[in-house]
Amino acid sequence: MEQIKEILEKVDLSDIPAEYADLRVEKNDNSSIRWENGHSVEDISIKSKGFFLRVLKNGNWYYDSFTDLNKLPDKIKNAISSLDKLSRGNFENICFEKDGFFELIKFSNFRNVNVDGTAKRNFISQTDKLLSEETYLARRNVHYRDRYSLRGFISSRGRKFIYDFSSFGMRVDYYLQKNQEIFRGNYNRGANNFNQLQQEYRNFPEQLEKSKYFISAPHIQPGVYPVIFSELAVGVFAHESFGHKSEADFMIGDKAMAEEWKMGKKVGSDILSIIDDGSIEDSSGYTPFDDEGTAADKTYLVKNGVLSGRLHSVETAALLKEKPTGNGRAVDFQFQPIVRMTNTYIDSGDETFDNLLDQAPGGIYIDQIKGGTGLSTFSIAPLTAYTIKSGKLSEPINVSVVTGNVFKTLSRVRALSSKVKLYFSAEFGGCGKMEQMPLRVGFGGPKMLVAEMEVA
């Protein structure tokens, strides 16, 4: 931390002959340990440090990534020389944050280097042993990762900040086989400290036990069903089907898209609200300042069923004449900021899970998932699902896909449970866009009942 503070104190961008300049500073400690079928196949630690320079002049940007701070004067000189050769560009009238130094060091006590390597390996060993004792086990993979990151920022407008981020995650993949039938399961959990990650794995033995009942689960009869989403499934739905379409760069130069996503449009049920918020500390999407110096904001993308906001960088905000939202993010110091989500989730309702089950006779409950994709039309692939009978979860059922049109599905949301759960996806999963992946994001929500969905 002190080294980054010293860099910010030493660097002065105020006298650069340009409209604007900023410098990002990043320092990372990472480790990764992986076992396959009871044998160690990876055990590494990696440190990295780097810088990303942006200069804006005459409406054009210059970008450069480098690892030696001594090269900064030459980088600035190259930037000005290159920009002076260009005709006037499109990026004018951009609003940048000004003044103020902010130091948000929240996770230094949770740093991965403070956790003994033996404790990490014991954690993997215990999980691997549990798997090895499973009767139907055919193959297994246990992968642990952690990271501690320091981010610094300085601009020619006097904006400075430092914040840190801590992440611990473990993913377990396993194959269960009975005769010729195979079930491929996984369990992926994360937290911002090692002890919390261990707590997240308290539920893994229960999932492993339940997995056995899905090896021979019957396949659902394709059709239209009422569907209840778990908090995990809701989060993936919110991220994939709506979050990406809320990133404002999709609308630049596309009149049809801008009209389809016009503010004030009714897009969902009255009880539905969707939020993006980077200020939540205990989350993998925690981004108190984005990579352009804009402070995090709680942005309602949908409020009570009405389209009410979108996610912006400073560029897209200027082009669409809206306010920056703190969503100009880069996966690391090698990339320029683009519009990205932070923590995207559906807001809570006021129902209990039992009430949702009572309202979904003959429906299905999606518990764990394999993944999801979507823009105007989305699909979610369940890992585990259950039939609903007489207001209770009933038999395990094999469901390949749940799909639908985004707006129609949002309009069919009938009930939401009263508690939001956010999932920590920083180390395994994350978000991909263009060449930048995986970016740490968070997602989640309450349990959600949709009246009708296509299921196969």
In sequence order, what DSSP letters do the residues of 291-337 get, joined into one string?
TTSPBP-EEEEEETTEE---B--HHHHHHHT----S-EE-SSTTS--
Predicted confidence (pLDDT) per residue in 344-366, tens digit: 999 999 999 999 999 999 999 99
> Residue 248 gets which letter from DSSP?
G
Predicted confidence (pLDDT) per residue in 91-132, tens digit: 888 888 888 899 999 999 999 999 999 999 999 999 999 999
Mean pLDDT of the chain: 94
Residue 253 has pLDDT above 90, yes or no: no
Please answer whether residues 109 and 333 qualify as being in contact, where contact means their C-beta atoms are separated by less than 8 angstroms. Answer: no
Predicted confidence (pLDDT) per residue in 129-144, tens digit: 999 999 999 999 999 9
pLDDT tier at 372, thresholds 50, 70, 90: confident
Distance CA 166, CA 144 (A): 14
Residue 165 has pLDDT above 70, yes or no: yes
Predicted confidence (pLDDT) per residue in 394-419, tens digit: 999 999 999 999 899 999 999 999 99
Question: What would the mean pLDDT of 25-34 be, rounded to a whole number?
Answer: 97
pLDDT of residue 1: 54
pLDDT of residue 220: 97
Q: What percent of the chain has pLDDT over 90?
A: 86
pLDDT of residue 16: 95
99 to 18, 150, 154, 317: CA distances (angstroms):
18, 21, 10, 20
How far apart, in Å, do the first and last CA atoms of the chain sit? 52
Please answer whether residues 427 and 410 qualify as being in contact, where contact means their C-beta atoms are separated by less than 8 angstroms. Answer: no
Q: What is the per-residue burial (b if ≥16 Cβ within 10 Å, else e) of 243-274? A: bbbbbbbbbeeeeeeeeebeeeeebbbebbbb
Question: What would the mean pLDDT of 312-337 be, rounded to a whole number?
Answer: 95
Domains of the chain: 2-214 (3.30.2290.10), 223-455 (no CATH)
Predicted confidence (pLDDT) per residue in 5-20, tens digit: 999 999 999 999 999 9
Element (H, E) at 68: none
pLDDT of residue 86: 95
Pick from 356, 357, 409, 423: nearest CA to 379: 409
